[in-house]
Amino acid sequence: MTSQPFRLPQGGLVDRSRLVTFRFDGREYTGHPGDTLASALIAGGTHMVARSFKYHRPRGILGAGVEDPAALVEIGSGIHRDPNVRVTEAEIHDGLEAHAQNVWPSLTFDVGEANDLLWRFFPAGFYYKTFMGGPRGWMTWEPFIRRAAGMGRAPDGPDPDPYEQTNRHCDVLVVGAGPAGLMAALSAARSGARVILAEETAALGGRLLSRDPAATHLDDRAAPEWIGAVAAELRSREDVTVLTRTSAFGYYGENFLGLWERVGDHLPRHERSPNLPRQRLWRVRAKQVVLATGAIERPLVFHENDRPGIMLASAAVTYVHRYGVLPGRNVLVFANNDSGWGAAFDLAESGASIAAIVDVRREIDGALLSRAAALGIAIHAGCGVVGTSGRFRVTGAKVQPVEGAGGVSDIACDLVAVAGGWTPNTALFAQSRGKLRWDDDLAAYRPGLSWQKEASAGASNGVFDLSGCLAAGAEAGARAADAAGFSAVPAPVPALRAEETLQRSIHFVAEVPSHRKPEDTRAWVDLQDDVTTKDLKLALQEGMQSIEHAKRYTTTGMGTDQGKVANLNAFRLVSDKLGRPMHEIGTTTSRQPWKPVTFGALAGQHVGHHFHPRRGTPMHDWHRRHSAVFEPVGDWLRPRAFLKAGESFEQAVQREARAAREGVAVLDATTLGKIDIQGKGAREFLNRVYTSAWTKLAPGRCRYGFMLGEDGMVLDDGVTSCIADDHFHMTTTTGGAARIYQWLEDYAQTEWPDLELYLTSVTEQWAVASLSGRDSRAVVEEICDDFDADPATFPFMSFRDTTIEGVPARIFRISFTGALSYEINVPASYGLWLWEKIFEAGARFGITPYGTETMHLLRAEKGFVIVGQDTDGTVTPHDLRMDWIVSDTKGDFIGKRSLSRSDTARADRKQLVGLLTEDPGLMLEEGAHVIATENEPAPPVPMLGHVTSSYLSPNIGRSIALALVAGGGDRMGDRLWVTRPGGAPIPVRVTETDFLKLKEEGHV
């Protein structure tokens, strides 16, 4: 027992039969299963666990749960390091290693503490005022400030743990399993509704667990027994899901809530199931929500109120009854309402001596006074704590009457239990966009007007007595089930032996009055962010009158705790200083998440290969076996090139590009978007969505076309073939497939419902191999059953239906490359079979697979544009100098009117041209700027345009490039320059874009 000097001989819900060993900051501690780090550390006599954010002041344990502001540590190390973990929430297990953070070199000797000696020089807004100077202002200082401030460190590498996400619908979601939540879940569950009960801590029961079980009886059963019976009934119901260690962290639109479940964190790694995730994110859509999130006690704001050993009175009681730990032997209780007195009596009965009860109120209830007298407790009514002593742990308090000129008494103590009143936990209610109401009797905000389908019940709704919480929970649960379509009656409320009330007769003061000079007072409002009353007053004085501005200027209520205990004290101080009522001051915004949630849980399974779904063609495995280098195009993975042994990527592209003209090469074109269009209106539809005319396209023929947006800019391109008068096969770019299909549906359904046509995506139905090069005809004829591929009788831009060993195939004479080409389409399930057949037949021609990089190079050689590379949403067909593709003779088409807008019709727009470097071996950089002068002028440099495509072409025998250049069509033969980083601009000649033709004609 000596290692746990503050463990009480009995009591608490921990399993005393087992001992758990863990380490904090290098020292070994023991505790029991059921302990949090906080309760086990307190059992070991340790209260100081951290340093504060700004002044590096010692920080202890203020709370006993999610509300604690500053008792943050790192757990684990290396890739398993979890920073900023609240000691009041983390459960201990054997082998757990925790470390203090934001300290150097150690928790008790921290160099950063020097900041505290200079506190007068670091007021609110200090950083904004001080570090704006210098040549780069804030940017110069920020790295140093970030290093000096900050909290925990990130893990050393990618998170190795598994996480998962799950979606759930339910009739009633109950958040919080205290007395109200349990009764709500019970009432709803008994009606047959699908219920989820989510409890943030490891055990059901909420505040019932913080009571003396001997004194708290429900229906004549001790609280743990009653809770056990309710839990057993809930768990026995098939439609009820009871989740512990699960925080409802976000209330989003239409009753959509995020729940964060810690599945394995409370276990040592070797005891965690390999089949379970570390944490789980529940995405819940609830018909009705019951918020039974309880209330949070506030600290009191006085000089030197931040020392370790200053603790919420409710937390002190929780440590006694839930964990069997005495947080101090000599306790001074400081209160502004009756709840502190109850805590003092509880602590006294548990073996602590009560040094004094200090209460800011003059008038105290007679029953409390006589009970205190019976226990021999000294009472200081109408007094306040005005200072404390002790470096790493409080050793005494100075007490003085709040009015008049009474003297200061020094009272020795090792714990100051503060009871500043209770704040209903309305965070989720506020996230749901409900309106809060200021309640003068409670001295707190409580839910007022609901916006979503939820109801707050119990302490979170400002109901502070236990019987009221039980009844309100039962009522809310039944009403929620009714509203979800069930017929429910409230579960009978258990009879209590004695009533329990959180708070009575509060005298809410923003700051405990003292005779100390304001400039010498350091009274913390926000313990995590080191915000004092002085900072808030300064902010108001400097004009930050809105509470949101005061928050941002001082950082009060920011950080990982979001001011759970600090906010209301800050609002009250602002209200007092401005002399305006609380409802006019309002609140800061409660945003999701309610508490920090790990990135792992938010990412769930969507990491690594599962981050984005990737699609492969039927030939994908073949590509992998043949050393393809892949690139993502839309959702697809496409081979960029196929590398032979010892070959670089560039060498592979050169080899493939030669083969695609001089021999035979084949491209997997399966990924092209394919849309089947049928109906009497199909032909007219094509007339309206493409720039060219489709009226005369005969069955068996194909046409290349551009689609424009209504703004006249090129949207997509592709070949569409006429299968019958009322049946067409359209292809789109790979990346544009889904978007174009949706866009076509839009026009078909909403603008031209009079046209009878049906659009069906057939992208997945066809596998496509595109053969290119002189020998492609021989390969096609060899694999087809009986097919004459003679270009003379099977002309360019036509297609034929045929068979390959009886498998139906459609062969198109269309070309990506400008060389003799055949595009073979077969049902997708035959894709790999076809591909292998092509390689078998093509072997004697040395058939070469080629990828997208080679395809782009081949297109550039021919001056064929790539939509999305040579165009960027600001380019018209005329800008591409492809006037021939726009029909003047047909009626309206999408984008037509925009082509004659004054801006679109300008002659000096950027136009697509070829660029040839004077040095044929020099390659331009894609994206490089085109300028008109030999030397780069001083900025801003007048730009003529930019390079869109640039390659080393094996078939032209030199570098080639395409560029968009202002008035480019009129610059043929001109000498221009292209900039490059770290070198003189490169001289180039402006040419036409079809480099193959230029070469044939001897211009290259």
Partner 1 sequence: MFVITCPYCGERDQAEFVSGGQAHRTRPLNAHEMSDADWGDWVFMRDNPKGIFAERWFHSAGCRRWFNALRNTATDQFLAFYPMGEAPPAVEAVLPATPAGEAPIGSGNDAVKVMRPGESEGTTT
> Counting contacts by CB under 8 A, is residue 253 touching partner 1?
yes
Window 256-275: contact mask with partner 1 (x via CB under 8 A): x-------------------
Shortest CB 436 distance to partner 1, Å: 5
Exposed, middle or buried: residue 329 (CB in 10 Å: 0-12, 13-18, 19+)? middle
Distances (CA, A) of 772 to 124, 206, 656: 71, 73, 11
Nearer to partner 1, 254 or 908 (CB): 254
Window 540-559: contact mask with partner 1 (x via CB under 8 A): ------x-x-----------
The only residue of 362, 433, 610, 644 in contact with partner 1, by rule CB under 8 A: 433
Q: What token pair was written down for 532?
A: 């004092």
- What contacts 991, CB < 8 A, 6 or more positions away? 913, 914, 915, 916, 972, 973, 998, 1003
Place of tokens 């009079």: 754
Rounded distance between C-alpha atoms, residue 314 and residue 503, angstroms: 11
The only residue of 53, 260, 319, 445 in contact with partner 1, by rule CB under 8 A: 445
> Which of these ranges, 37-45, 67-75, 448-456, 837-845, lies near partner 1 under the rule CB under 8 A?
448-456
**b/e map 742-759, b = 16+ CB within 10 Å:** ebbeebbeeeeeebebeb
Within 10 Å of residue 926's Cβ, how many Cβ atoms? 15
Nearest by Cα to 53 from 155, 154, 146, 156: 146
Coil, strand, or helix at residue 480? helix
The only residue of 436, 525, 952, 976 in contact with partner 1, by rule CB under 8 A: 436
> Counting contacts by CB under 8 A, is residue 435 touching partner 1?
yes
Sheet with 72-75: list strands edge to edge: 27-31, 20-24, 97-100, 72-75, 82-86
Nearer to partner 1, 540 or 629 (CB): 540
> Counting contacts by CB under 8 A, is residue 104 touching partner 1?
no
Distances (CA, A) of 291 to 190, 195, 476, 503, 755: 19, 13, 9, 20, 53
What is the DSSP pairing of strand 848-850 with strand 910-917?
A: unpaired
> Counting contacts by CB under 8 A, is residue 714 touching partner 1?
no
> Counting contacts by CB under 8 A, is residue 612 touching partner 1?
no
> Counting contacts by CB under 8 A, is residue 758 touching partner 1?
no
Amino acid at 825: N
Q: What token pair was written down for 266?
A: 């409370």
> Which of these ranges, 107-115, 266-274, 445-453, 793-801, lies near partner 1 under the rule CB under 8 A?
445-453
H/E run at residue 843: none
C-beta of residue 255 within 8 angstroms of C-beta of residue 287:
yes
Rounded distance between C-alpha atoms, residue 747 and residue 753, angstroms: 8
Place of tokens 């949706």: 742
Cα 963–chain centre separation = 40
Nearer to partner 1, 323 or 438 (CB): 438
Amino acid at 686: L
> Which of these ranges, 249-257, 347-355, 669-677, 926-934, lies near partner 1 under the rule CB under 8 A?
249-257
> Counting contacts by CB under 8 A, is residue 897 touching partner 1?
yes
> Which of these ranges, 643-651, 750-758, 775-783, 853-861, lies near partner 1 under the rule CB under 8 A?
750-758
The only residue of 753, 791, 873, 937 in contact with partner 1, by rule CB under 8 A: 753
> Counting contacts by CB under 8 A, is residue 501 touching partner 1?
no
> Counting contacts by CB under 8 A, is residue 921 touching partner 1?
no
Nearest by Cα to 323 from 24, 65, 592: 65
The only residue of 130, 487, 541, 589 in contact with partner 1, by rule CB under 8 A: 589
> Counting contacts by CB under 8 A, is residue 580 touching partner 1?
no
Shortest CB 547 distance to partner 1, Å: 9
Residue 264: HSE in the Cβ half-sphere, 13 Å Cα cutoff:
18
Instruction: Classify the C-alpha dihedral 138-144-146-150 as positive or negative.
Output: negative
> Which of these ranges, 36-44, 585-593, 608-616, 980-988, lies near partner 1 under the rule CB under 8 A?
585-593
The only residue of 786, 888, 892, 908 in contact with partner 1, by rule CB under 8 A: 892
Q: What token pair was written down for 833?
A: 């079979």
Window 656-695: contact mask with partner 1 (x via CB under 8 A): ----------------------------------------
> Which of these ranges, 391-399, 432-440, 471-479, 946-954, lies near partner 1 under the rule CB under 8 A?
432-440
H/E run at residue 458: none
Q: What token pair was written down for 559?
A: 């950080």
C-beta of residue 924 within 8 angstroms of C-beta of residue 978:
yes
Exposed, middle or buried: residue 886 (CB in 10 Å: 0-12, 13-18, 19+)? buried
Q: What token pair was written down for 188?
A: 């709803």
> Which of these ranges, 428-436, 490-498, 626-634, 786-794, lies near partner 1 under the rule CB under 8 A?
428-436
> Counting contacts by CB under 8 A, is residue 563 touching partner 1?
no
> Which of these ranges, 316-324, 434-442, 794-802, 869-877, lies near partner 1 under the rule CB under 8 A?
434-442
Shortest CB 553 distance to partner 1, Å: 16
Shortest CB 582 distance to partner 1, Å: 8
> Counting contacts by CB under 8 A, is residue 606 touching partner 1?
no
The only residue of 117, 232, 449, 698 in contact with partner 1, by rule CB under 8 A: 449
The only residue of 15, 621, 751, 1001 in contact with partner 1, by rule CB under 8 A: 751
> Which of these ranges, 78-86, 121-129, 216-224, 433-441, lies near partner 1 under the rule CB under 8 A?
433-441
Shortest CB 511 distance to partner 1, Å: 22
What is the DSSP pairing of strand 310-312 with strand 415-419?
A: parallel
Amino acid at 492: P
C-beta of residue 432 within 8 angstroms of C-beta of residue 453:
no
The only residue of 650, 710, 725, 872 in contact with partner 1, by rule CB under 8 A: 710
Nearer to partner 1, 430 or 978 (CB): 430
Binding residues (CB under 8 A) for partner 1: these are 252-254, 256, 285, 430-431, 433-438, 445, 448-453, 546, 548, 583, 586-587, 589, 710-711, 742, 745-746, 749-751, 753, 892, 896-898, 901-902
